[in-house]
Amino acid sequence: MQVTTNVEQATLRRLFSTSGPVVSSYFDLGALPEEDAWPRWHALARQLSEQEVDPGTIEALTRRVSMSLPGSGVLAMFAMNGELVLAVDMAGAHQPDLATCGALPCVLPLLAWLQERPPYVLAIVDRTGADLAAHPHGTGTAVRQTVTGLDDEIERNAPGGWAQMRYQHRAEDSWEHNAARVADALTRTLADLHARLLLLAGDVRALQYLTKHLPERVRRTVSIRRVSGSRSQDGAERDRAAQIVAQTRQAAHEQTQALLHRMAEARGPSGRVAEGARETLDALALGRVQTLVVVDDPQDCRTAWFGLHPTQVSDRREALARTAAPITRERLIDVAARAAILTGAEIHVLPPGTSGAPAQGIGALCRFPPRAAVDAGLTSDSARA
């Protein structure tokens, strides 16, 4: 298995669907001094051994660490039954060393890192076409393509006389036709990647035509931002890379603020917002949650109960008393994350101290109000059965 920076939903579902214990490990590859790396890892391995993790699983994790050293960033690993299920190179992450084994994986640090690196498309445009790079979540390998326009008359010649205007119009038409072709390719790429961020660089006139031909739905739902550079080797690569990092992080921050704003607007009689541990778990038990919002606080030791079915969740054991399958107690936010992932809800992670965070550090923006669940014949008990 290779270290990846792409995290598929199917892999997360597998981690949360297993019936056996899951090992979660976060290891800082770049912590100094460098010679301290192996002693730190062996200390984590001893912790896992004390938690009765089988030697085969520990060996699988150790092999992956060996392949990654020396390195930088944080290596996130998840393993079970002697198999490394997922390893993610979290470049630029800052996460204390952690090694734990439990019924549920600890994925919130990974999700928070991914959240800061949203998928985006970079288009470097000139009057003949564009170079496109589609970047998935994290810092995964970009999918690149070159779009070349069908019209090749791109020079606006100035021969003088009566023909000058005709040549100018022909060149302008060529630029616009080529830009329309780039816009079509960009629209498809953004949709395939589910990206809400488009970064544009290149020729000013070509960018004007490109923006004109982007569909209205793209201009309405996608954040379009400029970065420097052109398709030629102009020495702008380093500056552009720094601008991309800044733009993606700014976009992630704005998405967080927009979500918190939507939750603030939806609070009250609409019933579209659940807040606090009990109310949020009850919403998850009804499959109402569209986006789970949690504060990832390492000091948060609250627990909750879950059963075999994704909607069998509660902060009260007695609420699941009629459940035939085994009932397990785990950390509250991990139980909530499991229910969200297995019911198709999104998860948004907030750092401690975030202004506007939901009460008790956990809440949800819901698909429908609780009254709709009652009208449909759903209750928390029926959802858990």
Q: What pLDDT digit, counting tens, does each position of 198-211 carry?
A: 999 999 999 999 99
Instruction: Name the percent of the chain lying above pLDDT 90.
Output: 70
CA distance 21 to 52: 10
Sheet hosting strand 98-102, strand order edge to edge:
83-90, 74-80, 22-28, 98-102
Res. 232 pLDDT band, cuts 50 70 90: confident
CA distance 282 to 271: 13
Which structure tokens are listed for 364?
Answer: 């949800």
Averaged pLDDT, 24-31 = 93
pLDDT over 60 (residue 376): no
pLDDT of residue 86: 92
Instruction: Report the alpha-carbon angle 242-147-186, nearest 5.
Output: 65
HSE value, Cβ hemisphere, 13 Å, CA-based, for 291: 16
- Residues 93-121 have pLDDT tens digits of 989 999 999 999 999 999 999 999 999 99
Q: What is each CA distance from 118 to 92, 193, 373, in whole angstroms?
A: 14, 10, 33
- Report whether 263 contacts 273 (CB < 8 A): yes
pLDDT of residue 10: 84
pLDDT of residue 354: 94
pLDDT over 60 (residue 332): yes
Res. 248 pLDDT band, cuts 50 70 90: very high
pLDDT of residue 257: 95
Sign of CA dihedral 249, 252, 257, 260: negative
CA distance 24 to 18: 14
pLDDT of residue 265: 92
CA distance 281 to 320: 12
Mean pLDDT, all residues of the chain:
88
pLDDT over 50 (residue 5): no
Pairing of the two strands 197-202 and 120-125: parallel
Averaged pLDDT, 154-177 = 59
- For 8, the 3-state DSSP assignment is coil
Considering the entire predicted model, what is its pTM?
0.85
pLDDT over 70 (residue 375): no
- For 373, the 3-state DSSP assignment is helix
CA distance 360 to 278: 10
pLDDT over 70 (residue 154): no
pLDDT over 60 (residue 384): no
Res. 76 pLDDT band, cuts 50 70 90: very high
pLDDT over 60 (residue 385): no
Averaged pLDDT, 251-261 = 95
Amino acid identity, position 354? T
Place of tokens 């100035």: 158
Averaged pLDDT, 155-184 = 68
Averaged pLDDT, 83-88 = 92
Find the distance separating the first CA and the last CA of the chain, reported in whole Å.
38
CA distance 355 to 280: 19
HSE value, Cβ hemisphere, 13 Å, CA-based, for 284: 40
Q: How many helices (H) and strands (E) does the chain have?
A: 12, 16
User: What DSSP element (H or E) covers 62?
Assistant: helix 55-68
Q: What is each CA distance from 103 to 80, 106, 246, 259, 328, in whole angstroms?
A: 10, 10, 37, 30, 8
CA distance 105 to 334: 7
CA distance 187 to 205: 20
Amino acid identity, position 298? P
- Residues 296-321 have pLDDT tens digits of 999 999 999 999 999 999 999 999 98
Instruction: Name the percent of the chain lying above pLDDT 70.
Output: 88
11 vs 132 pLDDT, higher one:
132
Q: Work out the number of other CB atoms within 10 angstroms of the CB of residue 86.
A: 21
pLDDT of residue 187: 97
pLDDT of residue 1: 38
Res. 168 pLDDT band, cuts 50 70 90: low
